[in-house]
């Protein structure tokens, strides 16, 4: 049967996809390339011609994007998704055309890159609420005009072990103005004692300020002992509304 003079775009793309699979499959399973080419219905002449070709401008541009994506992913500890990667790529002066999220997603899949963020835990037993405060901060994080004026606090779970079979709780106090942790503490569970010890460290480091302290409504933060401790340091309190993690979004972002 005579070879058609023209190919459809879909046909060329299918051939390119097959070409890219030949080498890794042959290397992984020890198969002869000639057999793989025959199974895929691709001629040996076309494959070797493609293999020795010079990279097109688009391929070279995609290769540059892949390298930049790998650098951004590494620098940000695998926390950037396709939206954030696309945003940063479009700010790069070397990127001369607009990069969309779908293109970034395709390149991420090719590189085996995934966005890893902290999974929310929903299996905690509801404790009796004792001291509930209003949401004074109200997501207005820019009201911090100087260090130690607004503090955020939260607990997060850290898994360890060869299969992540063990876990501890990490609590921290974050200064909104600087974006750095004032103090942190590791404990076996989320308790009022752990929360108090974390803040004791924070007050010692910062020199006993009287900030606005915003937390969620976790059992440690609504306990009487913790609130008595806050009162002794002349602290104003603020709490997230139920089911509204965005009220403490800056702290959640730091954990991620």
Region 226-245: mean pLDDT is 91
SS3 133: coil
Residue range 6-50, pLDDT digits in tens: 445 455 555 666 666 776 777 777 777 777 777 777 777 777 776
Instruction: Check whether residue 43 and residue 65 sit in a common domain.
Output: no
- Indicate whether 22 and 46 sit together in one domain: yes
pLDDT for the residue 33: 72
Domain presence at residue 72:
yes
pLDDT at 49: 75
Residues 151 and 233 reside in one and the same domain: yes
Report yes or no on 120 lying in a domain: no
- CATH for 148: 3.30.420.10
Domain membership of residue 91 (yes or no) is yes
What mean pLDDT, rounded, does the chain reach?
A: 84
* 215 vs 157: CA distance, rounded Å: 16
* Cα–chain center distance at 91: 20
- If one compares 48 and 169, the residue with the highest pLDDT of the two is 169
Identify the pLDDT of residue 182.
95
Structure tokens at 93: 């002066």
Which residues face 150 on adjacent strands?
212
147 and 106 part of one domain: no
In a domain, 251, yes or no: yes
Give whole-number Cα distances, 202 to 118, 163, 221, in Å: 24, 33, 16
Number of domains in the chain: 3
Q: Are residues 31 and 67 in the same domain?
A: no
* Chain centroid, CA 11 distance in Å: 37
User: Considering the domain boundaries, does residue 116 fall inside one?
Assistant: no
pTM reported for the whole predicted model: 0.53
Give me the pLDDT at residue 54, please: 66
Residue 111 CA to residue 89 CA, distance in Å, equals 16
Residue with tokens 């997603």: 105
Domain interval for residue 25: 10-51
Tell me: pLDDT of 2 over 50.
no
């Amino acid at each position: 049967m005579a070879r058609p003079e023209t190919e459809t775009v879909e046909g060329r793309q299918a051939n390119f996809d097959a070409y890219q699979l030949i080498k890794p499959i042959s290397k992984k399973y020890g198969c002869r390339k000639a057999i793989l080419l025959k199974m895929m219905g691709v001629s040996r002449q076309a494959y070797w011609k493609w293999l020795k070709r010079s990279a097109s401008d688009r391929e070279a541009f995609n290769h540059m994007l892949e390298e930049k994506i790998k650098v951004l992913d590494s620098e940000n500890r695998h926390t950037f998704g396709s939206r954030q990667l696309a945003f940063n790529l479009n700010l790069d002066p070397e990127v001369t055309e607009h990069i969309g999220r779908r293109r970034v997603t395709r390149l991420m899949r090719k590189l085996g890159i995934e966005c890893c963020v902290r999974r929310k835990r929903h299996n905690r037993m509801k404790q009796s609420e004792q001291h509930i405060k209003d949401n004074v901060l109200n997501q207005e994080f820019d009201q911090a005009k100087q260090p130690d004026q607004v503090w955020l606090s939260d607990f997060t779970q850290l898994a360890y072990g060869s299969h992540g079979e063990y876990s501890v709780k990490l609590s921290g106090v974050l200064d909104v103005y600087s974006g750095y942790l004032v103090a942190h503490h590791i404990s076996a569970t989320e308790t009022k004692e752990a929360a108090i010890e974390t803040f004791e460290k924070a007050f010692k480091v910062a020199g006993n300020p009287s900030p606005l302290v915003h937390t969620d409504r976790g059992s440690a933060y609504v306990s009487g002992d913790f609130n008595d401790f806050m009162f002794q340091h002349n602290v104003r309190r603020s709490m997230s509304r139920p089911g509204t993690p965005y009220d403490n979004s800056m702290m959640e972002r730091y954990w991620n």
